[in-house]
Amino acid sequence: MYMSFNQEAHAQKGNLTVNNEKDWWRGAVIYQIYPRSFQDSNGDGVGDLLGIISRLSYVASLGVDAIWLSPFFTSPMLDFGYDVSDYCDVDPMFGTLADFDLLVVEAHRLGLKVMIDLVLSHTSDQHPWFVESGKSRDNDKQDWFVWADAKSCVDGAELQGSKQVPNNWLSIFGGSAWQWHDTRQQYYLHNFLSSQPDLNFHNIAVQDALLEVARFWMRRHVDGFRLDTINFYFHDRQLRDNPILPSEQRNSTIAPEVNPYNHQEHLYDKNQPENIDFLRRFRATMDEFDNVAAVGEVGDAQRGMQIMTQYTAGDDLIQMCYAFDFLSPESLDAQRIAAVINLFQQHSIDSWSCWAYSNHDVVRHPSRWQLDGSGQKLMNSLLLSLQGSVCLYQGEELGLNEGEVHFDQLQDPYGKQFWPKFKGRDGCRTPMVWSATAVNAGFSEVQPWLPVDSQQQLKAVSVQNNDSASSLANYREMLAFRKLFPALIKGELVKLKVSAALLSFERVIGEQRIFCAFNISDQVQLLTMDGFGTDVPWAEGWQTLQGLGYQSSCSEAGLQLPPWQAYYALQVG
């Protein structure tokens, strides 16, 4: 279907078993499911676990290796599950523990690994741990959260009529990161909503309790975890003020431009060195079970790549992490992509990355980068050719743009805080579009928790499923193509070159070597022999890999690549 030569022989040439269970995560493609918006099975307008089960055969048909489930734990849902009130149960909105067990069984039957989203840095203020901690300063959990006295004025007296916050730390969701607690007569730290108090990781009992949470789910046969805000676990014990960040260093990678969070250098409220020892403990806990892996979310605008490589170095920390380099609003061109790859390789010794363009927290990338169909397909090919694992977000395979959500339909507290300059995260969380004709796109028979976007519905699964020229077909083809070659899954990335709008590199493992080139523009680009010497990847000794719908003109003089198209060649002989 894709190539004219013996596919199986070339796939084996890398001398590596692609489906090695111990490192199944290395090069895996992980499909993120946002449960609230995937499939409603009981007619309440909210997606649930049984709904996910009913659609798992579709997910498996894409050719992905694993699913990542965003939080489904018991929660007051003020941050839609990222405010957990019981780590070891399923919120009734989503179903039951029995439903979850069925989901794992069905996913495994279909050959899919199951990863779940663990939110360890903070809980809901309704979690029993916080309720107990807030009762007094002398109970068993009095220091399970980050508590601090009000700061005094220079003369030693508190500000009259107010209580001064302990330091200048800010919440990502706006305002101070400190909330006053009347009973304790102290402030508690919250990096996100005031209803999401931060746990005190300096307390070993807290670490032990969270590791038991991980064991609970591994006993239910999960294959891994996505670790939310992995660099936020520890805070500076001295509660030192963050310095002001110079304006030329500010960016909106983590928080929208309108958010003052971008104006600080976050030296003390996250990214603390003690985190390394906890991650070693977490890895040792995972290693008590067979073949469990984790991917960490690193949220830092200035040092994200450095932290990502630090947390994944060696074999005793987290297997993989992702930073926000490809999730930021900044447009991607050949130079920018090359800079990100170079930065990773500069910091990386034996680290492993996980790349993503879209997720439940950022504007969908076709809208963010203003990509048409050809651009989306090209960027998908690039994503699936990079060294590292990959996260795909539900609906990404359909080429969905950001959904339209009006202010009176808004659910996200983040969007309500900064509207209209920042419209929140609801636009990337609108319901999955299954049918072009069914009510609510086949997601639910009743009004969904967020509106179905009519423009997205035009790209529904039912429209694309049998269209060989569709975005969905492209994702399936590219995922199948990737699986043929160990070099594309687990190989090194070498010989990175960038020229104008052309990006090229080679992926290498064992004896298998694949040349990859991408024209990231709407103009024809010529890749010449300059810089390749006699090792020209479109001349003798190389075989062009055909069948992905890309036409290119090759000669010994160079490679002429049409707009928004990719070229792959396999070294032979």
Catalytic residues: 228, 288
Beta-sheet strand order (sheet of 186-189): 147-148, 186-189, 178-181
Q: Which residues pair with 415 in a beta bridge?
A: none
Q: Two tokens at 425?
A: 């995260």
Contacts of 536 (CB under 8 A, 6+ apart): 529, 542, 556
Helix-strand-coil split of the chain, %, nearest 5: 30, 20, 55
Q: Are 554 and 515 in contact (CB under 8 A)?
A: no
Q: ∠ CA(555), CA(560), CA(563), 5° rounding?
A: 160
Sign of the torsion formed by the C-alpha atoms of 180, 185, 186 and 192: negative
Helices (H) and strands (E) in the chain, counts: 15, 21
**In sequence order, what DSSP letters do the residues of 493-531 get, joined into one string?**
EEEEEEETTEEEEEEEETTEEEEEEEE-SSS-EEEESTT
Q: Which residue has the tokens 């919250």?
A: 190
Q: Are 151 and 164 in contact (CB under 8 A)?
A: yes
What b/e readout covers 48-80, taking b as 16+ CB neighbours within 10 angstroms? bbbbbbebbeebbeebbbbbbbbbbbbbebbbb
Q: Which residues pair with 74 in a beta bridge?
A: 86
What b/e readout covers 383-411, taking b as 16+ CB neighbours within 10 angstroms? bbbbbbbbbbbbbbbbbbbbbebeeeebb
Contacts of 3 (CB under 8 A, 6+ apart): 10, 484, 545, 546, 547
Q: Which residue has the tokens 């927290």?
A: 361
Q: How many Å from the N-terminal Cα to the C-terminal Cα in the chain?
A: 23
454, burial (CB in 10 Å: exposed 0-12, middle 13-18, buried 19+) = exposed
Quick count: other Cβ atoms within 10 Å of Cβ 259?
Answer: 20
Task: Give the whole-angstrom CA distance, residue 428 versus residue 416.
Answer: 15
- Comparing C-alpha atoms, which of 296, 300, 352, 358 is closest to residue 332? 358
Q: Two tokens at 562?
A: 């049409």
- Comparing C-alpha atoms, which of 66, 62, 27, 28 is closest to residue 487? 27
Q: Two tokens at 190?
A: 């919250």
Quick count: other Cβ atoms within 10 Å of Cβ 522?
Answer: 12
Contacts of 412 (CB under 8 A, 6+ apart): 80, 424, 425, 426, 429
Q: Two tokens at 412?
A: 């996200």
Q: 67 vs 98, 145, 338, CA distance in Å?
A: 18, 32, 28
